[in-house]
Structure 1
Amino acid sequence: MKKLLNKALTTVAVLSVLAGCASEEDTIVMAPVPQVDNEFTASSVWSRSVGDGVEHYFSKLTPAYAYDKVFVASRQGEVTALNPETGDQLWSTDLEQDVPARLAGGIAAAYDKLFIGSENGEVIALNQETGELLWRAKVQGEVLSVPATDENLVMAHTSEGVLVALDQQSGEQKWAISTEVPTLTLRGTSAPMAVSGGVFWGTANGRLAAAIVQRGQLIWQQPIGTPKGATEIDRIVDVDASPMLMGSTLFVIGYNGQLTAIDLRSGQPGWKRTYSSATDLANDGSRVFLVTDKDHLVAVDARSGTELWNNKQLEHRLLTAPKVLGDYVVVGDSEGYLYWIDRSSGEFVSMQEEGSGGFAVGPILLDDGIVITTRNGNVKKLTLSE
């Protein structure tokens, strides 16, 4: 029974699993689309497609904007570079071989290269200028989050609880750190974050871990959640969200855990607040924004952890992680609606439908607009007009 349930939870997002269980059918209800008096509209500058996108799979393939290009990918293995002004294709590479590529997590850009992981247990490097395949490295477990880069290394966090560091030039493994993975976990892994010679990542056993990048030496682990409850589902404490840095403070959140502010160097918590989430955080320099496991959009004061506002009108709409774009917090939902929320008040400012495929990831910010990607592979640049 444990193996069957574990398999179910690692096939789709946990909320989708719970929503489909007979015992939860009457309690988990998606909120209706809110009525919003739009203060502005987002105009389409160009529209393209990248294969079939991620379809219905759990594959948070986040695009990247770097080297004056927009890089997008499909789960099947198509990686494409687009001109951010016109949307014209600059190059396209197909990474599918004898089996589907099953790309996941998103694209990291560094060292004049692109790095992307896969559910097949690979980290792949491409030349950012031409799309040429440079190397493919096998790792222990699926790579479901964006790799991190620092000190000429590429660091990927796998579903087996391994943080592995590869040489950015050759793909050769330099070190690996293993952490405990409970029998039952969420589908997903925390993307590592590298800064100041250290690398930080969330673990499946409810901790934030820190290591020295050059040596791969684990230096501390801080509990973010403690298993509680009678059932294995109740006791899930995954930290699947990536750590977020503001100044010298790390912010991290866990499922069935807490939003915690941690000193970067000592690893000691400054404050903790009870929120449960498996999605990445966002900030505007003074506030932290999060989407809870019930899809409540929340703002808290970064210094004290005091809740500033809580918008519950999108409950169970399967929201993307929040993104801060100018004066707004932006999220997408599973039905293809994109929402702009005033970051000071938590009130809706604008909303529009941008594709029936729905969103798995939020928009990325360009110099003069945003790029959105839908589950069915549509890629669109939007600009705001009053």
Structure 2
Amino acid sequence: MRITEKLVGLGLLVLVAGCSSLNPFASKQTKNLPAKLVELKSSIAVRNVWKQSIGKAGAYSFTPALAGGSLYVAAKDGAVARLDAASGREVWRIKAGGELTAGVGSDGAVVVVGGAKGVVLAFDADGKPLWKQQASSEILSAPVVGQDVVVVRSVDNRIVAFDAKTGAKKWTVQRTTPSLTLRNAPGMVIGGDNVYVAQPGGKLLALTLAAGVPRWEAVVGEPRGATELERVTDIAGTPVLFDKDVCAVSYQGRVACFDAATGVPRWTKELSSDVGVAVDQRFVFTADEKGALAAFSREGGQSAWKNDALAYRRLSTPLSYGRAVAVGDFEGYIHFLSREDGAVIGRVSTDGSPVISVPVVAGTNLIFQTQSGTVTALAVE
């Protein structure tokens, strides 16, 4: 099973089968071959706006952070850069002073990345070092920044908040972790006075930014089965806030939306995914573990459509924009599907390496970062 290459026994904090990538589909032992791409007559105009190279991600996942008109990107070798989101122009590029494992988090004033052995590094908007702190263990999830607070989650499931300006520790929350989890990068998102934290074991946690006080905890996926492997149900990707909802998906669990203020479920549907969700005014989109892209009604969770034309192509978290839903794959292709019925309507290539980071909308540009470090901006016309 491909997922076994991405499992971590928390007692030892090591990979069970030796993972070479955060991508759970990296196994060469899978019996399910990726769907072949058929010749496509595009019905949507997609234009490459700009490209930049930041450096390889290695065994980690780096997601660009958009703040104002700037895009902050990072790579395993310690490179951190600020790009103009509209043109791709490099404003500055620095070396963090060591290898990086997670990033990027930014509010436009502070830029934060996770370094080797749990080091937390903060820089100002000009790339100058602000402070350095130490987390309790390795950091795989991108830090988040908001309201002068930096929140970091380490793989031992300790959530720590630091003062964004000084690095002083503000609060710590320790949550229990199942004995077996996915070695992935469960994300966090700040909304209002709360930070929403994806958890192993299928739970979504809302904490106050000021003091780390739990507001609510909701179940996205419940562990089921006789073996530890069958009971793995970690939340995948980053929760998404939209209007008054927060939505998430879990492996061997469900896709669900909750009231962001109270945690009361809006709806839940059975689904297994190891990437996150995209949300727009009408739909919630996600790719299941078999590579089928599905859309659900945001209001009630009714199934809108499902397309398995990209089966086993190791799809990324999708992205909704205009009349299309975009999703990357393991060969660096970006596929565009109709938002309304799921039909494949376009395709562009990047650099041939997997797209594993969460894509970003920056104005009219869709931003994707590949595992080889190409940051690509696409415009849909």
TM-score by length of 2: 0.90
Could you tell me how far 1:286 is from its partner in structure 2?
A: 1.5
8 Å Cα contact 1:177/1:218 also seen in 2? no
Equivalent residue runs for 1:301-316 within 5 Å: 301-316=297-312
SS at match of 1:120: helix
Give the match for residue 114 of structure 1: 111
> Which residues of structure 2 form unaligned runs of 5+?
1-7
Give the match for residue 378 of structure 2: 382
* Alpha carbons of structure 1 residues 69 and 297: separation in structure 2 relative to 1, 3 Å: same
8 Å Cα contact 1:37/1:350 also seen in 2? yes
8 Å Cα contact 2:193/2:210 also seen in 1? yes
SS at match of 1:261: strand
Residue range with higher mean Cα deviation, 192-201 or 295-304? 192-201
Structure 2: which amino acid aligns with 1:64?
A: A
Give the match for residue 29 of structure 1: 33
Residues 78-112 of structure 1, C-alpha deviation per residue, up to 9 Å, x if partnerless?
A: 01122345433221110134xxx1232x3222161
SS at match of 1:185: strand
Give the match for residue 21 of structure 2: 12
Could you tell me how far 1:228 is from its partner in structure 2?
A: 1.6
* Alpha carbons of structure 1 residues 34 and 138: separation in structure 2 relative to 1, 3 Å: farther
8 Å Cα contact 2:258/2:264 also seen in 1? yes
Could you tell me how far 1:10 is from its partner in structure 2?
A: 5.9
- Counterparts of 2:205 and 2:89 in 1: how far apart (Å)? 41
Could you tell me how far 1:322 is from its partner in structure 2?
A: 0.5
Give the match for residue 91 of structure 1: 92
Residues 293-315 of structure 1, C-alpha deviation per residue, up to 9 Å, x if partnerless?
A: 21211100011111000011111
SS at match of 1:149: strand
8 Å Cα contact 2:324/2:337 also seen in 1? yes
Residues 323-367 of structure 1, C-alpha deviation per residue, up to 9 Å, x if partnerless?
A: 112211101101111111111110111012222223222543233
* Alpha carbons of structure 1 residues 288 and 242: separation in structure 2 relative to 1, 3 Å: same
- Counterparts of 2:86 and 2:197 in 1: how far apart (Å)? 35
8 Å Cα contact 1:9/1:185 also seen in 2? no
Residues 38-74 of structure 1, C-alpha deviation per residue, up to 9 Å, x if partnerless?
A: 12443333333113x214x2x2211123242232211
Give the match for residue 125 of structure 1: 122
* Alpha carbons of structure 1 residues 252 and 91: separation in structure 2 relative to 1, 3 Å: same
Give the match for residue 52 of structure 2: 48
Residue range with higher mean Cα deviation, 332-341 or 365-374? 365-374
8 Å Cα contact 1:9/1:186 also seen in 2? no
Structure 1: which amino acid aligns with 2:107?
A: A
* Alpha carbons of structure 1 residues 362 and 4: separation in structure 2 relative to 1, 3 Å: closer
- Counterparts of 1:320 and 1:298 in 2: how far apart (Å)? 13
- Counterparts of 2:216 and 2:365 in 1: how far apart (Å)? 40
8 Å Cα contact 2:61/2:101 also seen in 1? no
* Alpha carbons of structure 1 residues 79 and 4: separation in structure 2 relative to 1, 3 Å: closer
Equivalent residue runs for 1:353-368 within 5 Å: 353-368=349-364
- Counterparts of 2:215 and 2:77 in 1: how far apart (Å)? 38
Structure 2: which amino acid aligns with 1:75?
A: K
Give the match for residue 73 of structure 1: 74
- Counterparts of 1:107 and 1:139 in 2: how far apart (Å)? 16
* Alpha carbons of structure 1 residues 238 and 355: separation in structure 2 relative to 1, 3 Å: same
* Alpha carbons of structure 1 residues 365 and 212: separation in structure 2 relative to 1, 3 Å: closer
8 Å Cα contact 2:236/2:248 also seen in 1? no
Higher strand proportion (structure 1 or 2):
2
Identity, in percent, stands at 26
- Counterparts of 2:40 and 2:160 in 1: how far apart (Å)? 46
8 Å Cα contact 1:336/1:355 also seen in 2? yes
SS at match of 2:257: strand
Give the match for residue 63 of structure 2: 62
- Counterparts of 1:119 and 1:239 in 2: how far apart (Å)? 24
Q: 1:230 aligns with which of 208, 226, 229?
A: 226
Q: 2:100 aligns with which of 65, 89, 102?
A: 102
- Counterparts of 2:34 and 2:111 in 1: how far apart (Å)? 37
- Counterparts of 1:88 and 1:262 in 2: how far apart (Å)? 39
Give the match for residue 186 of structure 2: 190
Q: 1:139 aligns with which of 135, 140, 164?
A: 135
SS at match of 2:46: strand
- Counterparts of 2:264 and 2:143 in 1: how far apart (Å)? 25
TM-score by length of 1: 0.89
8 Å Cα contact 2:317/2:359 also seen in 1? no
SS at match of 2:235: coil
Residue range with higher mean Cα deviation, 229-238 or 325-334? 229-238
How many equivalent pairs are there? 372
Q: 1:39 aligns with which of 39, 43, 46?
A: 43
- Counterparts of 1:182 and 1:119 in 2: how far apart (Å)? 24
Structure 1: which amino acid aligns with 2:272?
A: S
- Counterparts of 1:9 and 1:198 in 2: how far apart (Å)? 36
Alpha-carbon RMSD = 2.3
Structure 2: which amino acid aligns with 1:35?
A: E
8 Å Cα contact 2:50/2:87 also seen in 1? yes
Residues 223-250 of structure 1, C-alpha deviation per residue, up to 9 Å, x if partnerless?
A: 2222222332211011133222222222
Could you tell me how far 1:185 is from its partner in structure 2?
A: 0.7
8 Å Cα contact 2:69/2:86 also seen in 1? no
- Counterparts of 2:258 and 2:379 in 1: how far apart (Å)? 36
Equivalent residue runs for 1:254-293 within 5 Å: 254-293=250-289
